[in-house]
Amino acid sequence: MNADLKFLANLDEPLVYIPSKGGGDETDHVGNFTMQEVSIHDGRKNKPSSSLDVEGFQLVSQKTAVDDFYDKVQVESTYHDEVKTLLMEMTGATRIDIFDDTRRSSSIDQQRLKNIREPADIVHNDYTAVSGIKRLRDHLADDPDEATRLLQRRFAIVNVWRSIAGPVLNHPLVLCDATTVAPEDLVSVERRAEDRIGELQVALYNPEHRWYYFPQMQMDEALLFKTFDSETDGRARFTIHTSFDDPGAPADAPPRESIETRCMLFFG
C-alpha cells in the first residue's frame, strides 16, 4: 500500500515543534515540511518477529483488565502494573518508571469532549540523544542523586501504544525499521510545551526507509516502540513514527482512539 507521510522538507527555516494541549487544538510545526508518498508494508505479514533492539518496534498480545481507559484511576492502578509486567518480561528491565499517558482520537468531537489530543501527523521520534537524558533528570528532579546513579547504567524509553475503542481501521500508527534510517535523516528540533522545553527528532525523506503498520489492531494487542536508548552499541536507539490516513479504510470507519504510555526502563 502507498500513503502520504509528512517529512521535513529542508533546513531553510528555523524549526520548532509546539505540541497541542488537547481539546481540539492542533500541533504547530514551524519549518518547511512536505508530504511524500511512501510504501507501507503489513507488519503482520512482513515483520512478525520484529524486536525493540533491531527494528525498534514489536507487536505483542496483551489482555487488560481495564474497561475504561479514560478512567485515570483504573489506568494508574491497574494498567500501569500490566505494562510494567509486560515490559519486564519482554526486555529484562529491572526497574520501570511510567511517566506519561497520552490519549488521542481522530475525532474532533471526541478530542473536545475528552480534552485529548489528535493523532500525530508528522514523521518524528519523541527524544534525541540529549533530551532522553534530560527527560530522566526532569522526571527525578526531586532526587538528582538518584538520576545521576541511574545514568551510570543503560536506560531506555519505550512507548506502549494500544487501541482503547475497538479495532483501528484508520489513522493507524506507522513505524520505520530503525535499520533503514541513517543518522543524517534525523534532525533535532526544539519541543516547546507549556510546562517543559525539550527536544525531539523530525525526519528527512529517504527512499531507503522501510515502513510498517499493523492493520486492524485490537484492544488486546499492544505496540511497543523505543524512542530512546542510552546504549550506543549498534542496537536501535530511536524509532521514527507517525499516523497516516489509510486509503483502504472504510468510508464509515469509526474514529481511532488510543493511549500511549511512556515508560523509562532501567537495566542491570
What is the sign of the dihedral through the CA atoms of 177, 182, 185 and 187? positive
When mean pLDDT is compared across 30-34, 170-174, 183-187, 193-197, the lowest value belongs to: 193-197
Domain that holds residue 76: 2-266
Give the per-residue pLDDT at 48: 86
Q: Count the Cβ atoms, other than its own, within 10 Å of residue 126.
A: 26
- Cα separation of 74 and 63, whole Å? 15
Average pLDDT, rounded, for the chain = 94
pLDDT digits (tens, 9 = 90+) for 23-56: 888 877 788 899 999 999 999 999 989 999 999 9
Does pLDDT of 17 surpass 90? no
What distances in angstroms separate CA 4 from CA 123, 161, 212, one per listed residue? 11, 22, 13
Does pLDDT of 14 surpass 90? no
- Cα separation of 46 and 1, whole Å? 13
What distances in angstroms separate CA 268 from CA 83, 95, 161, 265, one per listed residue? 19, 9, 25, 10
Reduced 3-state DSSP string for the chain = CEEEEEEECCCCCCCEEECCCCCCCCCEEECCEEEEEEEEEEHHHHCCCCCCCCCCEEEEECCCCCCCCCCHHHHHHHHHHHHHHHHHHHHCCCEEEEEEEEEEECCHHHHHHHCCECCCCCCEECCCHHHHHHHHHHHCCCCHHHHHHHCCCCEEEEEEEEECCCCCCCCCEEEECHHHCCHHHEEEEEEECCCCEEEEEEEECCCCCCEEECCCCCCCEEEEEEEEECCCCCCCCCCCEEECCCCCCCCCCCCCEEEEEEEEEECC
Does pLDDT of 249 surpass 80? yes
For the chain, the domain total comes to 1
pLDDT digits (tens, 9 = 90+) for 194-242: 777 889 999 999 999 999 999 999 999 999 999 999 999 999 999 999 9
- Cα separation of 127 and 98, whole Å? 16
pLDDT digits (tens, 9 = 90+) for 129-143: 999 999 999 999 999
